[in-house]
């Protein structure tokens, strides 16, 4: 989980806290024989163990890392500074891809982290340095100067304009934008209708240090948003519930131009050691399911960066818009569902009072692909909404892949809902299968006769007719194969490298499932593997991918 650690202290006091031994158990009266033995480590070490587990070598490494961060802060800013420490882990979503913004569930675990050491300021300037100063250059900004004088009435629209402005100025991908996102949105929440500040936020001198690989699909950008928000909330003594905090971080990140939900931020804020978080949205709710002994999740990097550059943001936002387009088309075609469906996830047989075959019939009414011109003609009453969606991304050359994206989204919602019950029933084999099916919905290549070829899954009428016939048959095997959660769909934001890594991993006995992590177009895959096969998996991927 993300948090702020143990209050405000001077740099030297933090370092002393990291190094101290816990003798508090011997400070009370009573005979020596009745006193508890001192525990290894002090307050800070106990906190580390509560977060990372009782792994002595790793705890030692973490203590050394935190000391390095604090010492670097002292070198850059002030050795006598009183500072707080905020942290936010990476998120690794195993099942529930591309659907949190549609109301679907996610099933993440947490790993690695971003740490911010922050010294409160008396003004609203934020000075940013990164421990990796060669890659991330120092930045500074003043919160009030980044916001318009008048109150922002529509944050989404304002961030669209701001994102376009940053793109024109060539600063759209700057790392400081994620810290700005948190600071500006938190300040905007404290303005009245006339634009006056009801509380003017104090800034900070901040040092950022991260162990999360950047552009790897592990949520490093969202972690920076969350860690910045954690620091500013503490410095300014703001009070938010965890649910409010998660929603704030999700909306704040729109500042950088993406149009996602707040699944990453929920995973970062709410995660617990040793558990998978089963998180639902609208409203936010979370259940924690213990990760089963005997299995490991391996993270393998393609070394193709999944940077949120302009073209990548356009692809991400296009897919999000396609969900909206699909829902508009379905509501036009089937007016009876209008009152039953608020979010895309509500297109579920139980909510609609139908069965899966009828849902497939509805999907069959959607075009496989459709252009903007065709949409504006077909959905004339939605012109304003469509034009607003179009502004977030470039027009896809081959049209919006409406049917494939919508089938993926509905099936992924079903998979994400099912995931927790499989874990509770100790069914890791089926859980792993969900990961692999989900990746198939993102595939852009396949192996055919030993050669990797381009692959585009189009959801044709023939495909839907077959699964409709199968699910209405009396054959248990056919019915099961046609179930909604077993349909990959066609979201198609993988890449050749991700597909290759998945195929290598899945060729090893003992691997239960593998799939991309994050938004796609590069980054990492997650592999669910029998713990006894972990070393063999590492060797296989090293030999066949990293050192072929």
pLDDT tens by residue, the chain, 548 residues? 666 566 899 999 999 999 885 444 333 333 333 334 444 568 888 888 888 888 889 899 999 999 999 999 999 999 999 999 999 999 999 999 999 999 999 999 998 899 999 999 999 999 999 999 999 999 999 999 999 999 999 999 999 999 889 989 989 889 999 999 999 999 999 999 999 999 999 999 999 999 988 888 898 999 999 999 999 999 999 999 999 999 999 999 999 988 888 999 999 999 998 999 999 999 999 999 999 999 999 999 999 987 655 678 889 999 999 999 999 999 999 999 999 999 999 999 999 999 999 999 999 999 999 999 999 999 999 999 999 999 999 999 999 999 999 999 999 999 999 999 999 999 999 999 999 999 999 999 999 998 999 998 799 999 999 999 999 999 999 999 999 999 999 999 999 999 999 999 999 999 999 999 988 999 999 999 999 999 999 999 999 999 87
CATH architecture classification, 310-546: 2-Layer Sandwich (3.30)
- pLDDT at residue 527, as a whole number: 98
For residue 115, give the H/E element and its range.
strand 108-120
- pLDDT at residue 22, as a whole number: 45
In 236-352, alpha helices (H): 242-252, 263-270, 310-333, 349-352
CA distance 364 to 464: 7
In 139-279, alpha helices (H): 143-146, 155-169, 176-188, 220-235, 242-252, 263-270
44 and 36 in contact (C-beta within 8 Å)?
Answer: no
- pLDDT at residue 42, as a whole number: 83
Q: Is 536 exposed, middle or buried (0-12, 13-18, 19+ CB in 10 A)?
A: middle
Q: Is 296 exposed, middle or buried (0-12, 13-18, 19+ CB in 10 A)?
A: middle
What angle, rounded to 10 degrees, do the helices at 383-390 and 310-333 form?
160
φ/ψ of residue 519, rounded to 5:
-80, -15
Q: What is the DSSP letter of 106?
A: B
Q: Is 197 exposed, middle or buried (0-12, 13-18, 19+ CB in 10 A)?
A: middle
User: What class does CATH assign to 87-291?
Assistant: alpha beta
CA distance 188 to 252: 10
- pLDDT at residue 213, as a whole number: 86
386 and 451 in contact (C-beta within 8 Å)?
Answer: no
Task: Count CA atoms within 13 Å of residue 135 on its CB side.
Answer: 9
Q: What is the DSSP letter of 205?
A: E
CA distance 45 to 66: 11
CA distance 195 to 152: 8
454 and 444 in contact (C-beta within 8 Å)?
Answer: yes
In the structure encoding, which two tokens stand for residue 462, read together?
Answer: 């023939």
Task: Count CA atoms within 13 Å of residue 152 on its CB side.
Answer: 22
Q: Where are the domains of the chain?
A: 87-291, 310-546
224 and 86 in contact (C-beta within 8 Å)?
Answer: no
pTM to 2 decimal places: 0.89
- pLDDT at residue 32, as a whole number: 36
Tally the residues of the chain.
548
End-to-end CA distance of the chain: 38
| Residue labelled with tokens 């304003």 | 384
482 and 356 in contact (C-beta within 8 Å)?
Answer: yes
CA distance 179 to 208: 10
Buried b (16+ CB within 10 A) or exposed e, 524-535: bbbbbbbeebbe
148 and 260 in contact (C-beta within 8 Å)?
Answer: no
- pLDDT at residue 309, as a whole number: 59
In the sheet with 511-516, reading across from the earlier edge strand, the strands are 295-301, 524-530, 511-516
């Amino acid at each position: 989980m993300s948090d702020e650690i143990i209050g405000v202290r001077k740099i030297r006091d933090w370092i002393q806290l990291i190094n101290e031994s816990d003798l508090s158990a011997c400070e009370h009266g009573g005979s020596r024989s009745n006193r508890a033995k001192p525990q290894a480590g002090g307050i800070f070490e106990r906190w580390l163990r509560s977060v990372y587990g009782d792994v002595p070598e790793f705890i030692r490494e973490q203590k050394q890392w935190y000391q390095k961060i604090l010492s670097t802060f002292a070198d850059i800013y002030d050795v006598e500074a009183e500072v707080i420490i905020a942290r936010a882990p990476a998120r690794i979503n195993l099942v529930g891809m591309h659907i949190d913004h549609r109301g679907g569930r996610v099933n993440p675990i947490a790993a690695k982290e971003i740490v911010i050491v922050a010294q409160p300021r008396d003004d609203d300037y934020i000075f940013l340095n990164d421990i990796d100063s060669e890659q991330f250059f120092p930045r500074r900004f003043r919160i009030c100067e980044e916001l318009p004088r008048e109150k922002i009435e529509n944050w989404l629209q304002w961030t669209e304009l701001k994102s376009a402005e940053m793109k024109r100025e060539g600063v759209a991908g700057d790392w400081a934008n994620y810290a700005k996102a948190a600071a500006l949105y938190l300040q905007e929440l404290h303005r009245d209708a006339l634009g006056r500040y009801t509380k003017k936020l104090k800034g900070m001198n901040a040092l950022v240090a991260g162990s999360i690989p950047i552009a790897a699909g592990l949520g490093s950008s969202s972690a920076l948003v969350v860690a910045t928000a954690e620091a500013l909330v503490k410095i300014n003594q703001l009070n938010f519930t965890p649910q409010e905090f998660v929603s704030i971080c999700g909306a704040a990140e729109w500042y950088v131009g993406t149009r996602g939900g707040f699944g990453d931020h929920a995973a970062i804020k709410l995660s617990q050691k040793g558990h998978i978080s089963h998180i639902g949205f609208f409203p936010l709710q979370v259940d924690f399911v213990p990760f089963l002994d005997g299995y490991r999740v391996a993270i393998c990097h393609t070394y193709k960066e999944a940077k949120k550059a302009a073209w990548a943001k356009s692809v991400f936002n296009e897919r999000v818009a396609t969900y909206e387009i699909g829902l508009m088309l379905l509501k036009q075609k089937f007016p009876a569902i209008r009152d039953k469906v608020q979010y895309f996830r509500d297109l579920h047989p139980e909510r609609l009072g139908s069965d899966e075959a009828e849902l497939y019939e509805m999907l069959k009414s959607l075009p496989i692909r459709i252009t903007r011109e065709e949409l504006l003609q077909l959905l004339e009453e939605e012109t304003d909404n469509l034009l607003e969606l179009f502004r977030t991304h470039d027009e896809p050359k081959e049209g919006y892949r409406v049917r494939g994206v919508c089938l993926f989204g509905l099936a992924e919602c079903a998979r994400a809902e099912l995931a927790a019950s499989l874990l509770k029933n100790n069914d890791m084999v089926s859980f792993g299968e969900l990961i692999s099916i989900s990746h198939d919905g993102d595939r852009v290549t396949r192996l055919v006769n030993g050669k990797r070829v381009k692959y585009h899954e189009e959801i044709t009428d023939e495909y839907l007719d077959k699964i409709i016939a199968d699910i209405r048959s009396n054959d248990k095997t056919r019915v099961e194969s046609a179930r909604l959660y077993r349909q990959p769909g066609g979201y198609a934001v993988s890449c050749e490298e991700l597909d290759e890594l998945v195929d290598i991993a899945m060729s090893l006995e003992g691997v239960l499932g593998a799939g991309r992590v994050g938004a796609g177009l590069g980054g990492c895959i997650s592999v669910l593997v029998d713990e006894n096969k972990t070393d063999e998996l590492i060797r296989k991927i090293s030999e066949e991918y990293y050192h072929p």
